[in-house]
Structure 1
Amino acid sequence: MSSVVDRYPPFGLHVVAGSLELRGLTDELLLELCDLAERGIHAPDAMPFYFPWSTAPVGELGRNTAAYHWGKRSTFTPDDFCLDLAVLLDGEVIGCQGVAAKNFPVTRTGETGSWLGREFQGRGLGTAMRQVFCELLFDHLGFEEITSAAFLDNPASLGVSRKVGYQPTVVNRIKRQGALALNQGLALTPESLVRSDVPVEVTGAEAVRTFIGLG
């Protein structure tokens, strides 16, 4: 009989870098991620996201988070996918790190996005998990470029990108919650990536390569 990993290979993806882990977002880990989101991601007067999903009331926020990830699983194809992984520290879920890509077998590029539970911020974990994730994408999943973006009023995210090696591209003028916001584009190549000082071990990547169209 086939397993859930056979049906959805990202569930079997596992990345270890010291006490930090990135794991396929199974339903068990997704429940922990929903609880983490409801404990808070950012200050009430801040909005780091283009869509203000994190402002939903407790209860609704957890349901919305689960529904979002369930939906992305159901529509996953090589030409349009979001690969989201749970981030764990010493076995505890502390955030989510992902990449969204379109027409990946041709473009070999995708945009990273992440969030960290507020209680785990300010400890260098955002930088560490992004470094490890980018190593996974470049070294094991065939990416040739990685992009990202952050609002200019989100210096923490911009600082993480700078430490990992992303280079600024264009600043876009975006309507955010009814007002103008300036969004800094960023791009990363294998040559500019600042790699982790900790050895990175990856399992389950070959099946995911096939799943995203590399064969």
Structure 2
Amino acid sequence: MTEESPPIREVYDRIGPHFSKTRQYPWTDVTDFLDTVSGTVGLDVGCGNGRHTEAMASVVESPIGVDLSRSLLEEARSRVTESGIEATFLQGTATILPLSDSTVDVAVYIAAIHHLRDRDARIESLDELARVLRPDGVGLVSSWCTAHDRFDRETGFDTTIDWTLPDGETVPRYYHIYDRGEFVADIRASDLELEREWVSKGNCYARVGGSR
């Protein structure tokens, strides 16, 4: 089943405008995290339409959003232009972030790691986050998890979940659905320092520090 889903960049380039319309507000867990931090440079990994990049602009001087989808980056740039916020958006992947070492004070990596198809890539993306965070930097990582009401599973698994466009076309999206223990294990297997973890509204979260 998962082999039949197209590359995630292709998926979000196809569904980007419609997807963006359904993702207008930042998540409460993210804004709660942002209320506790501040800094010069902020990074939103897998920024999508920029809703969390926009929220980050209230606590950092220079917010940066990175996404592999050109369609979603266009949505993000339009969003911050309309709101009068200055932010930089770069095309890139979570496993090869287009930033230098130890340059980021605050980072969010929200609902994106679950699109990476194998564990090595997921941990590699966490290592990349550790690489770009300053030693005293802090980040928030989240993923869908088995605690979500739509899943009747206790252990992590791979799946595809369709996105339905207005014309009825369905576009399959690959997901790795974490269980809580597996999510924590991957954070601990990376170069990040795990500060706290929790589950909220069907998502696993981890507050993390820079490279150990």
Which TM-score band (shorter chain)? 0.3 to 0.5
* TM-score, normalisation: structure 2: 0.37
> TM-score w.r.t. structure 1 length?
0.36
